Structure 1
Amino acid sequence: MGGTGPVLVLADGPSISPLRQNKTVSTAAVGPWRLIAGKFFRQKVAVTAGIIILILYLIGLFAEFLAPALPDTARPQYTYAPPQSLSFFTAKPDGGWEFNFHVKGYTIAIDKVALRRTFVIDDKKVVPVGFFVKGPAYKLWGLIPMNRHLIGPINPNDPMYLLGADRLGRDVFSRLIYGTRVSMSIGLVGVAVSLILGVVLGSISGFYGGWVDTLIQRVIEVVSAMPTIPLWLGLAAAIPLAWSPVTVYFVITLIVSLLGWTSLAREVRGRFLALRSEDFVTAARLDGSSEARLIFRHILPSLTSHILAVVTLAVPTMIVAETSLSFLGIGLKPPVVSWGVLLQDAQNIRTVATAPWLLIWPALAVVIAVLSFNFFGDGLRDAADPYDN
C-alpha cells in the first residue's frame, strides 16, 4: 500500500525494507574518521580557521620565495619608511588609465619640530612591481639556490616596503614572513613534546595506579607549582651565548614545553581511571592482550576527541609563550626572526609614536594565529565528540 516499496521477508526474522537495509549497511560502512570529517566540514567557522592555519604554514614553508627581500638586508637610507600600498593603474597624460602594477615612491621631508627626517609618499614617483621577479639570492629550505621572488620591485634597488621599514631600514613584510616560519613551527614542536610527555605519563599513571601513580602525580604537582616567568628566566639565562641560533631555537622550544604537559597528563590519567575497569578492557585482557596493547590500542583511542582538542588549543599557547619570552628579551634573539623578536623591536616610545606598524603587524599575526587555532580546535573537538549528534 503506501510507498515503502516491496518488503523482504526473512525465514527466521522480521521483515526488512530494502531501503532501510541499504541505509543500515551504508551507515555501518562509514568509518569513524569519515564521520568526524563530515561533522567538521559542516562547521564553516572551523573550516575557515583551518584554511587560515594552512595558509600560515604554507607561508612559513615557502618564506624565502614569498618574501620580497632578505630579512637582514638593511638600508639605513629608508629608516622607519612608512608602508606603501600596491596600485594597479596609473593616469595617462592625455586622460584615462593604464594598467601599471606599482607602489608609490618616497620624498624625504624634515620635521622641524622633532628635528628628524621623515618620509612622505610621493604620488609622482612610481616604483614598478612584478611577479616572479629576480631579487636577492637565497636557498629555498637551505638546499635549492634561487633568486626568484613571488613579488618585488622590477629594479631591485628601488624601495618597496609594503608594511613599512624598521629602525635599520629592513623590510617588515619580509621579516614578518620569515617570522611566521619560526613562530608557527615552534608551536608544533612544543606541542609534540608536551603531547608525548602528557599522554605517556598520564596513561601509565592512570592504568597502573599505586606507587607509580603517586610518584607521577607528585612530579606533576612539583612542576605545576613552579612559577612560570621566573623558571623561564632562569632557564633562558642559562643558555650559553656561543650557541648557534638553531640550537637556541630548540632549547627555547624545550623550555616552553616543560610546563605544557602537566594538565594533559592529569586529564588522561582521569580518563584511564574511569575506563580501565570497563567491559571492553576486561574482554581484551582476557583475550590475551598485553598491557601496552591495552593502553595504546584499546583505551587511548577512546580519548581521540579530547586529545585533538587539547593539541590544537595548546599550539596557540606555545606561540604566545615564545612571543612573550622573545618580547621580554629572554627567548629567541637576532639574527633569528620570529613574531616575538619583531615585537621586541617595537618596545621604545619613539617606535610606537613614529612607526606604529612595527607593533601592529606582528601583534596582528599573533592574534590571527591564536584565534584560528582556537576556532579550529573547537571544531575538531565538537566533530570528534561521540555524544554530539
Structure 2
Amino acid sequence: MTDTTPTGTTPDPNRRAPHFVSQEPWDPYVADKLTAEQERYYMAGQWKLMWWRFRRHKPAVVSMAFLLLMYFSTLISEFIAPYDLHTRHSRYIFAAPQSVHLFHEGSFLGPFVYGLKMERDPATLQRIYSPDKTKPQPLRFFCLGESYEFWGLIEGSFHFVCPPKDGTFFLLGTDRLGRDMFSRIVYAARISLTIGIIGIALSFVLALVLGGLAGYYGGWIDSVVQRLTEIIKSFPHLPLWLALSAALPVTWSPLLVYFGITIILALLDWPGLGRAVRSKLLSLREEDYAAAAQMMGAKPARIIGRHLLPGFMSHLIASATLSIPSMILAETALSFLGLGLRPPITSWGVLLNEATDINVVAVNWWLMLPVVPVILVILAYQFMGDGMRDAADPYA
C-alpha cells in the first residue's frame, strides 16, 4: 500500500489506513454457510453417525461380513451340504478327510479327489484309509445329488457340490457311523447360531421390561428387581445350567428341548443387561423432557418406550451383541456334557460330545473340527461387539 502523506510532513497517528471495499453485495450469512460434507455430517441422524464410525473399525466390519455369511448359510444348509444330515456310509467309518486337488500327473483336471482304499491294521484291526492316486474323481458343482426336504417343507435334490459318481467326498472326514462331518457341521450351524439369537431376544425383552420398571418407578419395585438379579448373579452359572438342563423331562421332543434350553439361557443372561437399563433410566427420568411428557399426561409405558429407551438403545444393542457369544458357548458346553441338546438335533456341542474319548481324538483328530467354527464365531462377535460399542459412544 502506497503512503499518501505529503513529503516533509508528520503522519497523523489518528488517521485510518485506507481500505478496499468489495464490489460484491455483502451477505450476512456467508460466515455461517457449511460445505456439503459438513452439512451432511451435522444433519445425519444417530444411527447414520454410528454406521460411519463403525465402518472405520476394520476388524468389526470384516467380522460382521463373516457373521452375515454364516447366518446366510443356515438358510441354505441343505444346498451347501453334499450329504444329508443322517446319511451313513458303513464302508467308510472314521474315514480321514479327503483333500481337493487340481492337477493329476501334471495335467489340470479341475477340482477332484482321489478315491479311498481301506486296509486293516493286523495288530489293532483298525481301519486305515489311504488315497488311491490311480483313480482321480472329479467333483460336480451345482448338481443333483441326495434328496432332502428344504426346511422340512419342500423336497429337493439340488446341491452346490456333489460327490463324484460312484465315489465319495468327505472334506472333513466321517464319524463313528460313517456320516460326513462337513455336512453335519453345516447343518449344526443352524441350531448353534439361532439359539444365540433367540436367547438374546428373550433376554433383551426381559431386561427392557424389568430393568425399565425398576429404573422408572424405583421404590419397592426397584428393590424386588435388584434382589432378583443379585440372587441370579450369585449362583455359579455352569452348575445352574446343569441343574436346569437336567430338570428337563426326558420325554420331551427335540424341539421342546431346544426351546427349553433357549429359555434357560435367556433367564440366566438378562440380569446384566437389566442393570444397565435400570441405571440409565434412573438418570434419564429426571430430565426435563421426561418431566414435560409426564405433565402432558403421557403414560409411563409411552414415556419409557418413546422418550427414555431410544436415548440409549444403541448402547443396549452393542451390549446384547456381546452377550450372544456367551449363549453360544453355554449351549455348546451343555451339549458337550450331554445335558443340552440331544440327537437327532445336531449342534456344534452335540458333535463335540462325540469327541469326549481322548483315545478316539488321538487317532481321529478331525472329530475336533466342530470347535473351529465355534472359535471363529465367538471371535467375530467379540470384534463386532467392540466396534458397535465404540460406534455407540457419543464421546468417540
TM-score exceeds 0.5: yes
* Equivalences for residues 1-389 of structure 1 within 5 A: 9-10=27-28, 15-17=29-31, 19-20=33-34, 25-91=39-105, 96-155=106-165, 157-359=166-368, 361-388=369-396
Contact 1:8 / 1:18 at 8 angstroms: preserved in 2? no
Kindly state the Cα deviation for residue 55 of structure 1 after the two structures are TM-superposed.
0.9
Contact 2:216 / 2:282 at 8 angstroms: preserved in 1? yes
Distance in 1 separating the partners of 2:379 and 2:99: 27
Distance in 2 separating the partners of 1:23 and 1:331: 53
Residue identity in the other structure for 1:221: E
Kindly state the Cα deviation for residue 169 of structure 1 after the two structures are TM-superposed.
0.6
TM-score (norm 1): 0.91
Higher mean C-alpha displacement, 101-110 vs 282-291: 282-291
Kindly state the Cα deviation for residue 249 of structure 1 after the two structures are TM-superposed.
0.7
Contact 2:273 / 2:320 at 8 angstroms: preserved in 1? no
* Structure 1 residues 43 and 230: alpha-carbon distance in aligned structure 2, compared to 1, 3 A threshold: closer
| Runs of 4+ off more than 6 Å | none
Kindly state the Cα deviation for residue 180 of structure 1 after the two structures are TM-superposed.
0.5
Secondary structure, in 3 states, of the residue corresponding to 2:103?
A: strand
Distance in 2 separating the partners of 1:47 and 1:238: 41
Distance in 2 separating the partners of 1:8 and 1:61: 63
Contact 2:101 / 2:110 at 8 angstroms: preserved in 1? yes
Distance in 1 separating the partners of 2:55 and 2:275: 31
Residue identity in the other structure for 1:373: Y
Secondary structure, in 3 states, of the residue corresponding to 1:135?
A: strand
* Structure 1 residues 18 and 213: alpha-carbon distance in aligned structure 2, compared to 1, 3 A threshold: closer
Residue identity in the other structure for 1:380: M
CA root-mean-square deviation: 1.9
Distance in 2 separating the partners of 1:22 and 1:62: 44
Contact 2:245 / 2:339 at 8 angstroms: preserved in 1? yes
Secondary structure, in 3 states, of the residue corresponding to 2:370?
A: helix
Question: Where does structure 1 lack aligned partners over 5 or more consecutive residues?
Answer: none
Contact 1:187 / 1:318 at 8 angstroms: preserved in 2? yes
Distance in 2 separating the partners of 1:228 and 1:40: 32
Residue identity in the other structure for 2:221: V
Residue identity in the other structure for 2:331: E
* Structure 1 residues 77 and 203: alpha-carbon distance in aligned structure 2, compared to 1, 3 A threshold: same
Which residue in 1 is equivalent to 2:13?
none
Q: CA-to-partner distance for each residue in 1:143-186, whole Å, 9 max, x for gaps?
A: 2211011111132x422100011111100000000010000000
Residue identity in the other structure for 1:387: Y
Kindly state the Cα deviation for residue 19 of structure 1 after the two structures are TM-superposed.
4.5
Residue identity in the other structure for 2:73: I
Higher mean C-alpha displacement, 97-106 vs 43-52: 97-106
**Percentage of identical aligned residues:** 43
Return the index of the structure with the highest Cα Rg. Answer: 2
Contact 1:7 / 1:16 at 8 angstroms: preserved in 2? no
Contact 2:60 / 2:384 at 8 angstroms: preserved in 1? yes
* Structure 1 residues 154 and 8: alpha-carbon distance in aligned structure 2, compared to 1, 3 A threshold: farther
Kindly state the Cα deviation for residue 350 of structure 1 after the two structures are TM-superposed.
2.3
Contact 1:304 / 1:384 at 8 angstroms: preserved in 2? no
Q: Name the count of aligned residue pairs.
A: 374
Question: Where does structure 2 lack aligned partners over 5 or more consecutive residues?
Answer: 1-18
Secondary structure, in 3 states, of the residue corresponding to 1:17?
A: helix
Distance in 2 separating the partners of 1:20 and 1:202: 42
